[in-house]
Amino acid sequence: MIKLDSNEKLGSSQFLKRKQLWSKYRYYSLLLILFLVTGSLLLDPGSTDINNKNDVSIFSTDSTVELCPKVHPLTPKFNKSIDYILNDPLYKKQSIERLSKAVQIPTEVQDVNPDPKLNPGFYSQFITLHRFIDNTFPLIKTRLQKEVINEFGLLYTWKGTNETLKPILLMAHQDVVPVNKDSVDQWTFPPFSGHYDPNTDLLWGRGANDCKNLLIAELEAVEKLLEDGFIPERTIILSLGFDEESSGVWGASHLASFIHERYGDDSILLVVDEGAGIVEVENGLYIAPVVNSEKGYVDVTIEILGHGGHSSVPPDHTTIGVAADLITLIESSPFPSDFQLDNPLYGALTCTAEHSTSLPSDIKNIILNAGVDDKHRNQLTQYVSNNKQLRDLIRTTQSVDIISGGVKANALPESTKFLVNHRVDFHSSVRETVLEDVERARVVANRYGYGLLFEGEYLIEPTELGFIEVTYSKPLEPAPTSPSSGPVWDILAGTIQDLFNNAFIVEKANDNSNDRNNSSNSSSNNGLYVTTGVFSGNTDTKYYWSLTNHIYRFIGALFDESSLKTVHSVNENIEMKNHLSAITFVYELIVNVNESDLAY
């Protein structure tokens, strides 16, 4: 057990003054952060409170040294259906029908779900989905090995001709978040209608963008490869969980264990799951932030246990009052920022700073020099920590989400309990995070004369008033960071680049042809740059760490504000051209990996 020093002071971070600088770059900043921060839709640039106008940069903005070079597109030799998937009207019509029907099946899960073996009826909609998959993808049904794991998890194996090569593993989840019954009338189209509007090219419904789209895209790509006569040398595995929206305890955890038992440690070449997409950060400049790590997780529960009595003779502070003060202390003491250059966020920042024509030169200077100069790194840390949408990617977060206490107006609350949810920083740990909360509880226990209990040991003996107990659950350390260089990364990045060239660059060039003809400021930096990104949340990949050190979270689609703001909300939708590009990405990735000269 880690002992806590009773004299140790509570750590806290200092708030810096914020100014409203660079406000005209609000929209630019929005696109920079899009999908790097889960759920962030507005970015309010804050002051770095620094004076660097006369600072001399180590890398000038026109340096010939590229920190974020454009990768070479990896075009598969077997490319029979790439153009067909992207451009054939009949295929698009069929794909709309497939995705629409999948969305119409309401595979909702809650925060807490029953054991599927004990209550299979709760998951009846998943049986409907499985029948739909069997009927819609006949070649997958007849030619791939299908295994059902823990009643509703789906595992498909397309065996390769060379069993000595590590398989690739593609993930998605079958479940969707529930539709709020009070907001159904706010939907433009019913949430499980799967309605397609040809005027906007949008397909509407819960799960259309999280993540029935990826689920169906993977199945469509594999079905098309089978139809095209592709024969893989390397085995391809599809692992489809059914409760990702409630942490994957019944689905992905069992699937991962089953796969591990079959193949063993470090047995998979590559894992790809839901994640970021391609973002246009400014006109003509695109960033593909492949998420190669995730923060950790832990729920800390703090309970103030006191004594009851009649409310007409109250103590100075009830357990609710003590809890309120502790919550105030927690919220006023955020964890310190810790921006290190191995944080995947730095890749996206660097690519944007190097190739943007709109980002202010002083911010460019800070970002581009942070890698070689501590002064600039500290300035970048200050800038990021003052930005409400970026700051949570460089520190452990805390959110008081659940509280309960008291049962009657004239009865003192015998106990009050609240839960603090933490997303653990890359350079911290679950243990360090929990101990910080213990120290905060110690401060309040001493202030009000309470004991303190943690892990079965009284750090402060209980008093006549009672004691405070700290417990924690669902601990998850920060995910290992997958490589952003090397042969596996090169295949992934090259596939993304080729997808962009096929699916987006021609269309964008046509859209902007008049603008380019009329402008003398066209930048040679236009195009796509593949780099790293980060989630502040977690995906089902948290169960797959032992299988490979190459885990990436990315979907081959263009993401913008409108496509993100409806995820988990009213009017969830997806643009069908982005769904078609996701199919193409999976198709190309499978072929490119199989055509590589990797001998393992």
401 assigned to a ligand binding site: no
- The active-site residue, picked from 151, 175, 220, 282, is 175
d(CA 388, CA 391) in angstroms, rounded, equals 6
Report the number of secondary-structure helices (H) and strands (E) in the chain.
17, 17
List C-alpha distances in Å: 325 to 322, 331, 332, 440. 5, 10, 10, 10
Q: Nearest-CA neighbor of 15 among 382, 563, 461, 497?
A: 382
d(CA 80, CA 63) in angstroms, rounded, equals 41
d(CA 383, CA 16) in angstroms, rounded, equals 10
182 is catalytic: no
List b or e across 472-502, with b for residues whose CB sees 16 or more CB atoms inside 10 angstroms.
beebbbbbebbebeeebbbbbbbbbbbbbeb
Contact between 592 and 495 (Cβ < 8 Å): yes
273 assigned to a ligand binding site: yes
List C-alpha distances in Å: 414 to 53, 300, 302, 400. 59, 20, 14, 21
What is the per-residue DSSP string for 193-215? S--EETTTTEEESTTTTTTHHHH
173 assigned to a ligand binding site: yes
Number of residues assigned to the chain:
600
Q: Nearest-CA neighbor of 266 among 169, 154, 149, 148?
A: 169
- The active-site residue, picked from 218, 223, 243, 244, is 244
Contact between 208 and 189 (Cβ < 8 Å): no
342 is catalytic: no
Kind and range of the H or E element at 418? Answer: strand 415-424
Q: Nearest-CA neighbor of 288 among 557, 86, 80, 84?
A: 557
d(CA 448, CA 454) in angstroms, rounded, equals 18
Contact between 592 and 78 (Cβ < 8 Å): no
Q: Which residues are annotated as a binding site for Zn(2+)?
A: 173, 210, 245, 273, 568
Active site residues: 175, 244
Q: Which residues are annotated as a binding site?
A: 173, 210, 245, 273, 568
